[in-house]
Chain A
Amino acid sequence: MSIRRKSLLTAAGVAVLSLVATMVTSVGSASAAANCDPFAGYHGLKGKTVTIFTSILEPELGTMKAAWKDFESCTGVKIKIEGSNQFEALLPVRVKGGNAPDLALIPQPGLLAAMVATGKVKPAPAGVIANVNKYYSPSWKALGSVNGKFYAAPLGSNMKSLVWYSPTQFKKNGYTVPTTWTEMTALADKMAAAGQTAFCGGIGSGGATGWPATDWLEEVVVRMYGQKIYNDWISHKIKFSDPKIVAAMNTVAGWMQNPKWVGDPKAIATTSFQDAGQGIPSGGCNMLQQASFYGSQFPAGTNVSPTGDVFAFYLPGINPAVTTPVEGGGEFTTAFSARPEVQQVQAFLASATYATSRVNLDHWVSANSGVPLAAYKDPIDRLSAQYLANPKSTFVFDASDAMPAAVGAGKEWTEFTAWFGEGKSVADVVKAIDAAWPAK
């Protein structure tokens, strides 16, 4: 082999190598340049670590990590997240033991209040306040506050205020989706006149039988009286025997125990909530109030979409003074440290940038109004987000979850089951529930 040929080969080799190298760097710099812009406002995070503790587990945990991967690579911060199914029991232990995480994603306002009471929770920094004021409705901010002081920004959320129906059946029968409570009752009357069952219902759920009925009452209470009275009801400042709650129970009775609309109201007590809506696609019954997760209860292959076999509409409001009442759940980013890097990560999690990148990855709903609705791929997610992120929405948490377990997971379930199944009177039901409230 001549010297000339050898050098030529070497030159070619170098050229190829450098080409590959430029390709690699250009790909790297291109993606970095495209994705680092939104993070320009975050400084001094390089080499810092922020720990998060949550009840969220794999595979959702992995999706969360993917959603903040660009943030980590651009700012140089390291976010260490740890999920545990014992979160609610472990968090107080860790906080008491001086081993609190930097951030905790707390899924109940009650636990947030308990943590604030320990004095270890840091108030929300300016960056978080700015994002929450900009993107979240005041009722969400109120849920992240304890005694009027704002601590925790919302992160994920889910919606219960939905009514499942069949778009194809509605189209066939010439029904339109109701947008007010009066329209809904008028539609139910129309269905009854046509010999159809307007509302499906089932509150059977093994040892938790009765919970769907507690949701119905909660939906009605927030629709009639708004967030303030709803929260007073949770804290038992307003008793079950209060005329307001009794009136709400009578509204529920006129709705889900109305023999004209539901057929046999007593059968609701013995029908499992999973089975309750199975008649919807075929028109066996027409409407079922259930949470957003109910879509997965329909048989595989059911088309869940605005023109499909089943879809949901927003359960309309009752009192016009209560704007867009929504019941649901969500978790709140609570800080146990005021280090600058923690506060910046906290602000980032409350931003529209994070929420949008999370929505882009997978099934997830944010109450952040900065997320474009078009980003949601799942139609039920999009519908939920439309109401959860509405700046005027009156958002409340599940009341029975927030009440003491002796009521919220005990007497309220069993008494409501007796109310539906055995025709126990409202007066007796509220009396028994109030009597079960634990003494302070």
Chain B
Amino acid sequence: MGTFISDNAPKFGQVLIAVFGFLAIMSAIFFIAGKANGKKSKPIANIVFLGPAVLLLGAGLIVPTFQTIMFSFKNDTSQKWVGLANYKWIFTDPDIHLVLFNTLLWILVVPVVTTGIGLGLAVLMDRMRNESIPKALIFMPMAISFVGASIIWRFVYNYSTRNQPQVGLLSAIVKLFGGQPQNWLLVKPLNTFLLMIIFVWVQTGFSMVILSAAIKAVPADIVEASALDGAYGWRLFRFITFPSVRSTFIVVLATQVVGALKLFDIVRTMTGGNFGTNVIANEMYAQVFVQFNQGKGSALAIALFMCVLPVLFYNMRNLRLERSHR
């Protein structure tokens, strides 16, 4: 412990200096800004309060975005302009076609399944006794990172070679029903769906909790009134519950779409993008940070960005509509 403190004392010192330096500068700025009055006070206040956020957004988001766009039109070492060559590569390379197809599969399947199961569970558990217990259990995987979850699921899909005992849970279940254990991660296209199960396992709890909160917020008088009109079970859900939580449902769905688009950790941990399971984010990482192909990687990043944009716009439009209704 003593050595730990003495070894790291300079670091703590630097941290303290940085923190106090920051505080001192900010106080000075606020003090000076506070002195301003009259006509100038409003624009100065705007600058003081917006400035840091705009600066950080610029340095952390806007500048890198334009830089990436520039890189995507340059060659792999970013020394020469190559026009649309990197984008041409995305649309002509058969390996990248598979990557795009897999990503599409992820966007189509995962959000619907995750949000669907989440909604189903939320409705079913809504009036259950002790609903908090099963809910907590289903929500629990949310606390595990995708990498951690992938490592757990590797054991589920484990397949051992000759002369070694089979320890995989999936093989055990299949065997119970008279099937043969297989090297699951090699079976195409099943392996992509096996990876999706991990995402669903982690994210369903999130969907369920948010949707459950929305269902609880449906006013009881509406439910009672519709019950008097004879709406029970499916009809209640179809005409009352679902329309009431529709906007929440869309937000959750959109979040899952963005999550599936950006998906990286599961593929990286489970297969490293091999065996026909590669997705855009993993290929982008491999291009830039393993193979040092800055141009191709940037073009993939821009492609991914373009795919996320419509989802974000839809989400924003939806929120705005929501607000104008109220």
A206 to B147, CA, bound (A): 11
Residues of B close to A269: CB separation below 8 A: 186, 274-275
The answer to whether A119 has its CB under 8 Å from any CB of chain B is no
What band does the interface of chain B fall in when counting residues whose beta carbon is under 8 Å from A? 20 to 34
Q: How far apart sit A85 and B162, CA to CA, in the bound complex (Å)?
A: 41
**Docked pose: A271 CA to B186 CA in angstroms:** 12
1/0 per position for A21-37, CB-CB distance to B under 8 A?
00000000000000000
Contact of B291 among A197, A279, A405 (CB under 8 A): A405
**Contact status of A270 and B159, CB under 8 A, knowing A206-B272, A209-B274, A405-B292:** yes
B307 to chain A, nearest CB (A): 23
| Closest B residue by C-beta to A210 | B274
CA distance A410 to B183 in the complex (A): 24
Q: Does B276 contact A (CB under 8 A)?
A: yes
**Across the interface, which residues of A come within 8 angstroms of B291, CB to CB?**
405-406, 409-410
Across-interface contacts of A422 in B (CB, < 8 A): 186, 188, 275-276
Residue of A nearest to B157 (CB): A270
- Of A65-73, A147-155, A413-421, which binds chain B? A413-421
A218 to B7, CA, bound (A): 44
Contact B159 A267 (CB under 8 A): yes
Q: How far is the CA of A205 from the CA of B272 in the complex (A)?
A: 8
Q: Distance (Å) between the CB of B261 and the closest chain A CB?
A: 20
Contact B161 A409 (CB under 8 A): no
* A residues in contact with B275, CB < 8 Å: 269, 417-418, 421-422
CB proximity of B192 to chain A, nearest CB, Å: 14
Does A252 sit at the interface, judged by CB under 8 A?
no
Our pick among A197, A210, A406, A409 for the contact of B163 (Cβ within 8 Å) is: A197
User: Can you list, as one digit per residue, whether each of B224-239 has a CB less than 8 Å from chain A (1) or not (0)?
Assistant: 0000000000000000
- Restricting to B280-313, which residues have a CB under 8 Å from any CB of A? 285-286, 290-293
Q: Counting CB contacts under 8 A, is A326 at the interface? A: no
Cα A263 to Cα B162 with chains together (Å): 6
Q: Which of B163, B186, B273 contacts A421 (CB 8 A)?
A: B186
Whether B272 contacts A271 by the Cβ 8 Å rule is: no
Tell me if B164 is interfacial: C-beta within 8 Å of chain A.
yes
B286 touches A284 (CB 8 A): no
B186-A270 in contact (CB<8A)? yes
Whole-angstrom CA separation of A4 from B273 in the bound complex = 93
Q: How far is the CA of A270 from the CA of B291 in the complex (A)?
A: 22
Which of these, A264, A284, A405, A414, contacts B274 with CB under 8 Å?
A414
Answer yes or no: A266 CB below 8 A from chain B CBs: yes
B141-184 interface code vs A (CB 8 A; 1 in, 0 out): 00000000000000000011111100000000000000000010
B residues near A410, Cβ cutoff 8 Å: 286, 290-291, 293
Is A285 in contact with chain B by the CB < 8 A criterion?
yes
**In the complex, what distance in Å separates the CA atom of A263 from the CA atom of B160?**
10
Scan A267-283; emit 1 where CB is below 8 A from any B CB, else 0: 10111000000010000
B247 CB–A CB distance under 8 Å: no
The smallest C-beta distance from A422 to any residue of chain B, in angstroms, reads: 6
Question: Is there an interface contact between A209 and B163, defined as CB atoms closer than 8 Å?
Answer: no
Q: Is there a chain B Cβ closer than 8 Å to A207's Cβ?
A: yes
Q: Nearest B residue to A414 by beta-carbon distance?
A: B274
Q: In the complex the two chains form, is A279's CB within 8 Å of B290's CB? A: no
Q: Which residues of B contact A208 (CB under 8 A)?
A: 272, 290
Report how far A234 CA is from B164 CA in the complex, Å: 38
* B268 located at the interface, meaning its Cβ lies under 8 Å from any Cβ of chain A in the complex: yes
Interface positions of A from 400 to 440, Cβ below 8 Å from B: 405-406, 409-410, 414, 417-418, 421-422, 438
Q: Among residues 201 to 234 in chain B, which have CB atoms less than 8 Å away from a CB atom of chain A? A: none
| B269 within 8 A of partner (CB) | yes
Establish whether residues A266 and B183, one from each chain, have CB atoms under 8 Å apart when the complex forms. yes
A196 interfacial contact with B, CB 8 Å: yes
- Residue of chain A at shortest CB distance from B278: A414
The yes or no answer to B122 lying at the interface (CB within 8 A) is no
Give chain A residues whose Cβ lies under 8 Å from the Cβ of B183. 264, 266-267, 270
Interface residues of A in 117-176 (CB under 8 A from B): none
Residues in A with CB closer than 8 Å to B161 are 197, 262-264, 267, 271, 285
Cβ–Cβ < 8 Å partners of B268 in chain A: 206-207
Contact of A279 among B164, B269, B276, B286 (CB under 8 A): B164
Contact A197 to B162, CB < 8 A, known contacts A270-B183, A422-B186:
yes
Chain A residues 256-309 with CB under 8 Å of chain B are: 262-264, 266-267, 269-271, 279, 284-285
In contact, A409 and B274 (Cβ under 8 angstroms): no
Give the residue name and chain of the B residue nearest to A408 (CB): B291
Which residue of A is nearest B291, CB measured?
Answer: A410
Give Cα A409–Cα B286 distance, bound, in whole angstroms: 9
Does A266 lie within 8 Å of B286, measured CB to CB?
A: no
CA A414 – CA B277 in complex, angstroms?
12
Contact: B186 with A409, CB < 8 Å?
Answer: no
B185 at the interface (CB under 8 A from A): yes
Name the A residues within 8 Å of B292 (CB-CB): 405-406
How would residues 202 to 216 of chain A score, 1 for a CB under 8 Å from any chain B CB and 0 otherwise?
Answer: 001111111000000
Distance from B287 Cβ to chain A, minimum over Cβ atoms (Å): 8
**Residue on A nearest B292 in the bound complex, by CB:** A405
Q: Which residue on chain A has the smallest CB distance to residue B272? A: A209
CA distance A279 to B293 in the complex (A): 39
**Nearest residue, chain B, Cβ from A268:** B161
- In the bound assembly, the distance between CA atoms of A205 and B276 in angstroms comes to 17
Contact A207–B186 (Cβ < 8 Å): no
Distance in Å from the Cβ of B82 to the closest Cβ of chain A? 11
Query: In whole angstroms, what is the CA distance A421 to B270 when docked?
Result: 14
Instruction: Name the B residues within 8 Å of A270 (CB-CB).
Output: 159, 183, 185-186
Residues of B within 8 A of A285 (CB): 161, 163
Q: Which of A186-206 contact B (CB under 8 A)?
A: 196-197, 204-206
Residues of A within 8 Å of B163, CB to CB, are: 196-197, 263, 279, 284-285
Residues of chain A within 8 A of B285, CB atoms compared: 207
CA distance A279 to B164 in the complex (A): 8
Q: Which residues in A have their C-beta under 8 angstroms from that of B290?
A: 207-208, 405, 409-410
When the two chains form their complex, are residues B162 and A417 in contact, meaning their CB atoms are under 8 A apart?
no
For A436, the closest partner residue in chain B by CB is B291
Q: Beyond the given A208-B290, A284-B163, could you list 8 further A-B residue pairs with CB under 8 A, ordered by the A residue number?
A: A207-B268, A207-B272, A207-B285, A209-B274, A269-B186, A269-B274, A417-B275, A422-B186
Query: Shortest 7 CB-CB distances between A and B: which pairs?
Result: A263-B162, A410-B291, A209-B272, A267-B161, A417-B274, A405-B291, A263-B161
Interface residues of B (CB under 8 A from A): 76, 159-164, 183, 185-186, 188, 268-269, 271-276, 285-286, 290-293
Interface residues of A (CB under 8 A from B): 196-197, 204-210, 262-264, 266-267, 269-271, 279, 284-285, 405-406, 409-410, 414, 417-418, 421-422, 438
7 A-B pairs with C-beta separation under 8 A? A207-B272, A267-B183, A270-B183, A270-B186, A285-B163, A409-B291, A422-B186
